[in-house]
Amino acid sequence: MSSQVRENLQKFFVLGVSYRKTALDVRGQFSLTQMDQEALLRDAKDQGVEGLIVLSTCNRTEIYAHSSDMDLVINLFLNYCKGSEEDFRCNGYTIQGSECIKHIYEVCSGIDSQIVGDFQIVGQVKNAYQLSENYQLINSFLNRLFSFVFKASKKIKNETELSRGAASVSHAAVQYIKDKVDDLESTNYLLFGTGDIGKDTCSNLVKHMANRSLTLVNRSVEKAEALANKFDINYCSMTHLTEEVEKAEVIIVATGAPHSTLMKEHFENTKKCKLVLDLSVPRNVDLAVDSLENVTVVSVDELSKHTSETMHQRLNCVPQAEEIIDDSIREFYAWLEVTFLSPVIMALKEDLNKIRDKELDYHRSKMSPEELKRVEKITSNLMNKIARACINHLKGHHQTQSTPMETLNMIFHEPETK
């Protein structure tokens, strides 16, 4: 890899927190709402950041940046999240260059997901990419990199078993319920929140339980109604949340809010035991609920540990997925090399054409139109062969030298004489 490409790669970095190093309660402090993400992107654009993408999910909050000023990006992140600089130093991370390239591939393929092979992440990354594109923060580097990443992710999904079988967070929640609840058919279920995770959970509940004793509650009653009609189940407005909490034995919270949405007061009339699954980050079930005698609260981190043999099958597919990733990374690096050489190659062709045109002009008056046509064809073919030979030489030179334009100057430009 040439020194110029290495320098360009060092401008690409990721910073953030994830499930690998950071506990759920701390991770929630670094979560960014949609409004926070947009404000951060606007600020980054105003401060001249070249390229930046913000990703905030239940497993991680990460910022991918192509910029010479890492400190600026870190400060932007800390300005818009609730976590402190000290918390970030203790729990966060920064990854640069080639390691960062590998990291983003592993994130988008599901290899680096809390539940390996959870393919929901690539959709979340695509949404984050689109949001950055709306704010004109996708430069040519990020554009081409994520094009390669998304293509590799699709290939992994289609050609490996990494994402086969049900093992998403929503499925883990359903599996947990099946393992912990004795009488699935007579149990009353409440699903609070009908966003992406809520919809997925609802689908899994209906599919695996064959139980219609499920009620949906959502801030937007219209969204709850639409999803309830799709699966022929019940729904109600937020004003009846306390009543529905009282009736349900199993409550799944997938509201995805930046604050608690299910409070201790919602359980004021509770006498029977309840199982509460919180799929949100930060936690949307108030910590005070944990202290209630008849209520068991299970977090998203605990659910992620509760997986079936599907996970073992997926882990066996990781080497195959990594081969696809390695091939794609090599293609991306080749693109970087060619991109750096493009202006040099254009200059080379211009120099060759100038030489050819000068010679043809000198002999033009001495040739008939037929002779000139033949000579133009011969010299064109000759210039193309010389160009290919020089381009191959430049590519080889580029691997070991820092200034390929100097090579071009040595070949085609005579030194000035005094």
Three-state SS annotation for the chain? CCHHHHHHHHCEEEEEEECCCCCHHHHHHCCCCHHHHHHHHHHHHHCCCCEEEEEECCCEEEEEEECCCHHHHHHHHHHHCCCCHHHHHHHCEEEEHHHHHHHHHHHHHCCCCCCCCCCHHHHHHHHHHHHHHHCCCCCHHHHHHHHHHHHHHHHHHHHCCCCCCCCCHHHHHHHHHHHHCCCCCCCCEEEECCCHHHHHHHHHHHHHHCCCCEEEECCCHHHHHHHHHHHCCEEECHHHHHHHHHHCCEEEECCCCCCCCECHHHHCCCCCCEEEEECCCCCCECHHHHHCCCEEEECHHHHHCCCCCHHHHHHHCHHHHHHHHHHHHHHHHHHHHHHHHHHHHHHHHHHHHHHHHHHHHHHHHHCCHHHHHHHHHHHHHHHHHHHHHHHHHHHHHHCCCCCHHHHHHHHHCCCCCC
Exactly one of 58, 100, 108, 236 is catalytic; which is it? 58
- 90 an active-site residue? no
Point out the residues that are catalytic.
Answer: 58
